Amino acid sequence: MRIRSMIAGCLLLGLAVSTSGCGSAEVPEPVAKRIIILTNGNSPYWDAAATGARDAAAELKVEEAGLTVMVDRNDYEVEGQINKLKQYANSTDVAAVGISVTDAKNAAIADELRHLRESGIKVVTIDSDVDRDTARDARFAYLGTDNIQGGRELGVAAQALLPDGGEYATFVGLKGATNAIERIGGFAEGVGAKINAKENMGDGGKADPARKNVRDALDRNPNLNLLVGIWSYNTPAIVDIVKELGIRNKVKIVGFDAEPPAIEAMADGMVDVMVVQNPYQMGYQGVQLLKAMVEEDQATVAELLPDQGSEGGDLCRTGLKVVVPDGTTSLKRDMFDPQTEFLTLSEFRAWLREHGLSGS
């Protein structure tokens, strides 16, 4: 009888411990898994992508799926991006990564991406891809601009602005990034044989070298009449130096993307044309695709990548816009690919307001 009482007491004690544990810290709350968007650097260009990622998180109800979204900004350094990828691999709460690759040729970045995939973490590239000849297997898909086409459209615009020909220089953050290589190559195709390349200068993603490069290129090449901004902050850097030197009447200024200073510069007559990507959609669709991959939602994956499995079916294009100043310009809608939107600055600003953006 005494033994039965002791056993019953132990069972009751065990039940009490078990019951109290359900409502205490002894049983950890489920931790939301992270979808991470990792940028190549930190510039206002990425603000639009962050807005798109945030909107996707809300509209697609990622919290209800046990997920959360964060945008992690790199410093344009390869080492910084590799270190972040290693941190993700050692974390237990990372479900998926969308990365803008800093250097397409860097094998260590591709190896870290493969390591993530082998660990079960979903991986896509956005904005700038891996080297597609050697590292296509390091990610599932690429979302972003067709950068060759974008460069070509900018070149076509430049050719129309300078029908008598001339000399040009391109300015970019990292010359080894895939988007830089493809845009510059596409630009050379589009601009034609009458306008010759004289300089291609990288600045490491830093503002002061970006401006110095423009000044140095003009010093070395007195006949330069076309300055080309390849990354978003390069066009404002070009404008700064052209204003400083007072040579706007001698040069055309064209560039990628539309940071707020570039938009104001176009309104002030300092920029002739911008080819604008859609980082908002890169952020939005990046989260949408990664969430679908985590949930094994093949219908959504197929919606975003309808040609998956065929050549080039791993590429999801997010569109291009050619933006020209209000009023007189020699650029016309029919000069560009039918799939490229052609907008005046006022029309573009209306699109920005519609999406709550200050730049793109």
Question: Is residue 14 one of the residues assigned to a domain?
Answer: no
Contact 85, 111 (CB under 8 A): no
Rounded CA separation 144/142 (Å): 7
Judgement on whether residues 190 and 252 belong to the same structural domain of the protein:
yes
Do 81 and 156 lie in one domain? The reply is no
205 and 348 fall within a common domain: yes
Residue 15 inside a domain? The answer is: no
Same domain (yes/no): 236, 270: yes
pLDDT tens for each residue of 271-294: 999 999 999 999 999 999 999 999
Q: Which two tokens mark 270?
A: 């300092």
CATH of the domain at 70: 3.40.50.2300
Both 265 and 215 in one domain: the answer is: yes
CB 132 within 8 A of CB 166: no
The residue segments making up the domain with residue 137 are: 33-144+279-317
For position 42, what pLDDT does the model report? 87
The pLDDT tens digits for 227-263 are 999 999 999 999 999 999 999 999 999 999 999 999 9
Same domain (yes/no): 262, 284: no
Q: What is the pLDDT of residue 309?
A: 92
Residue 239 lies in a domain: yes
Number of domains in the chain: 2
Q: Hunting for tokens 């291609």 — which residue is that? A: 200
Q: Tell me whether residue 173 is in a domain.
A: yes
pTM, full prediction: 0.77
Provide the Cα torsion 273, 52, 101, 266; round to 10°: 20
- Are 237 and 209 in contact by the 8 Å Cβ rule? The answer is no
Q: Name 252's Cβ contacts closer than 8 Å, sequence gap at least 6.
A: 158, 161, 162, 225, 226, 227, 272
pLDDT at 29: 59
Residue 329 lies in a domain: yes
Task: Supply the pLDDT for residue 178.
Answer: 85
pLDDT value of position 349: 97
Whether residue 210 lies inside any domain: the answer is yes
Residue 285, in any domain of the structure: yes
Residues of the chain scoring pLDDT < 50: 1-24
- C-alpha pair distances (Å), 209 with each of 201, 344, 356: 10, 31, 31
Distance in angstroms (rounded) separating the CA atoms of residues 339 and 347: 17
Residue 138's nearest CA partner among 154, 152, 118 is: 118
The answer to whether 254 and 158 are in contact (CB under 8 A) is yes
Return the closest-CA partner of residue 268 out of 248, 285, 251.
Answer: 248
In a domain, 26, yes or no: no
